[in-house]
């Protein structure tokens, strides 16, 4: 192997070198490599590089790659100082991805690599995480104030299938806060209007529409087969139906609610023994007229955007298994004070929804509840 004057090599030249037989080592940590590796690369932690070199007899050029090219450059320079000729891929995996070069186990086409480029650069997401999103099915109950921002950002992130459930039509009074819709689509079914907006944003997304009102009778049929549920409903009958179905099917429910200048969000995940459910927070629905709807109380237009985006964030975290979710916590937002507060929300052993003596709500008993 001849001596190189330049300790760095471009991503394109490295790819050509690999095709010609060069050895490409990804010296990032295993956790970083889980987000995706260059096609043809072998994973060797930088701390294990000397041990790897001692086991092999190199007969081909040696190339090193890391995240942005700094660690691999230092490693290549150190190896060259010891008489082992090596080059670092300039810009690392960041440059490799930006150049549109193939990744290991990468079934993303050029459109997907460009569309999700910034997300793919996150080690915790990468190609594998993006593939998980593409396979995901998320039900969004309500295509209004909360469902609008949640659906927009989930579609933009590459969630493969979004099921929109809403029986309402677009009204001009919706446009102040329901950003999926437009003035040109006033009078159209909300799910049709939403689907048009989401497909325009990301033609890769599969949008399923259900122009029906979700209730206890149809909830299982509508929600089965999804990975998680976004509760953007505007009435208590739907919300309690979503909660009951979440428990029955073992599907996480991402709850959000808004009124005037305040909102709240939490995650209820029946797959976890320590998770509360919606009825741990609100055991029984209020009587008709006790809780004012947005129509009656009003709502600041940007508020559903804040809460809906938090719901979308929690959804992506669950789908990608990232961070710490809001399970067991109720996040409260006060727009006037611009302040978030957090309340502990433990599971209630006596909860009528998920406790030992659960008391399912009767479908008929919910019919009188007011629409928000």
To the nearest 10 degrees (0 to 180), the angle between helices 147-157 and 190-201 is 30
What the block records as the tokens of 74 is: 């230092």
Output phi, psi for 191, to 5 deg.
-65, -35
The continuous run of DSSP H or E covering 237 comes out as helix 236-249
Question: What element of type H or E holds 320?
Answer: helix 303-320
Q: For residues 312 and 150, what is the distance between their CA atoms, to the nearest angstrom?
A: 5
Residue 256 has, within 13 A of its CA and on its CB side, a CA count of 31
Helices 147-157 and 303-320: angle between axes, nearest 10 degrees: 40
| Cβ-based neighbour number of residue 36 at 10 Å | 26
Beta strand segments in 286-345, E: 329-334, 339-344
* 327 phi, psi to nearest 5 deg: -60, 125
Task: Give the span between the Cα atoms of 188 and 140, in whole angstroms.
Answer: 18
DSSP string covering 153-182: HHHHHT-SEEEEE---B--GGGTTT-TT--
* Alpha helices for 99-136 (secondary structure H): 110-115, 117-120, 126-135
Alpha helix locations (H) across 183-226? 190-201, 219-223
In the numeric block, which tokens belong to residue 136?
Answer: 């995901």
Q: Provide the 8-state DSSP code for 107.
A: -
Residue of 66, 277, 294, 351 marked catalytic: 294
Is residue 294 flagged as an active site residue?
A: yes
Which residues are annotated as catalytic? 294
């Amino acid at each position: 192997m001849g001596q190189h004057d330049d300790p760095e090599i471009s991503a394109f030249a490295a790819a050509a070198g690999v095709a010609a037989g060069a050895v490409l080592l990804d010296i990032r940590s295993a956790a970083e490599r889980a987000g995706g590796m260059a096609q043809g690369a072998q994973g060797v932690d930088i701390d294990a590089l000397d041990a790897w070199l001692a086991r092999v007899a190199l007969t081909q050029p040696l190339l090193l790659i890391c995240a942005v090219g700094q660690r691999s450059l230092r490693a290549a320079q150190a190896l060259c100082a010891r008489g082992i000729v090596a080059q670092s891929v300039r810009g690392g995996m960041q440059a490799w991805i930006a150049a549109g070069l193939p990744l290991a186990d990468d079934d993303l086409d050029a459109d997907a690599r460009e569309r999700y480029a910034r997300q793919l650069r996150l080690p915790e997401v990468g190609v594998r995480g993006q593939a998980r999103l593409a396979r995901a099915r998320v039900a969004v109950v309500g295509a209004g104030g909360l469902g609008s921002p949640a659906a927009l950002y989930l579609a933009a992130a590459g969630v493969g299938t979004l099921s929109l459930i809403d029986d309402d039509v677009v009204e001009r009074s919706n446009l102040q806060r329901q950003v999926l819709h437009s003035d040109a689509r006033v009078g159209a079914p909300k799910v049709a209007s939403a689907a048009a907006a989401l497909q325009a944003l990301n033609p890769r997304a599969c949008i399923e529409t259900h122009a029906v009102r979700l209730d206890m009778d149809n909830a299982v049929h509508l929600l089965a087969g999804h990975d998680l549920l976004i509760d953007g409903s505007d009435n208590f009958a739907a919300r309690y139906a979503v909660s009951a179905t979440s428990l029955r099917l073992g599907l996480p429910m991402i709850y959000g609610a808004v009124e005037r200048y305040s909102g709240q969000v939490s995650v209820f995940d029946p797959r976890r023994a320590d998770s509360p459910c919606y009825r741990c927070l609100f055991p029984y629905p209020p009587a008709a007229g006790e809780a004012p709807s947005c129509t009656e109380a009003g709502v600041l237009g940007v508020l559903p955007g804040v809460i809906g985006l938090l719901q979308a964030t929690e959804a992506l975290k669950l789908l990608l298994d990232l961070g710490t979710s809001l399970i067991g916590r109720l996040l409260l937002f006060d727009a006037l004070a611009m302040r978030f507060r957090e309340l502990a929300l433990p599971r209630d052993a006596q909860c009528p929804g998920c406790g030992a003596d659960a008391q399912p709500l009767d479908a008929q008993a919910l019919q009188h509840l007011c629409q928000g």
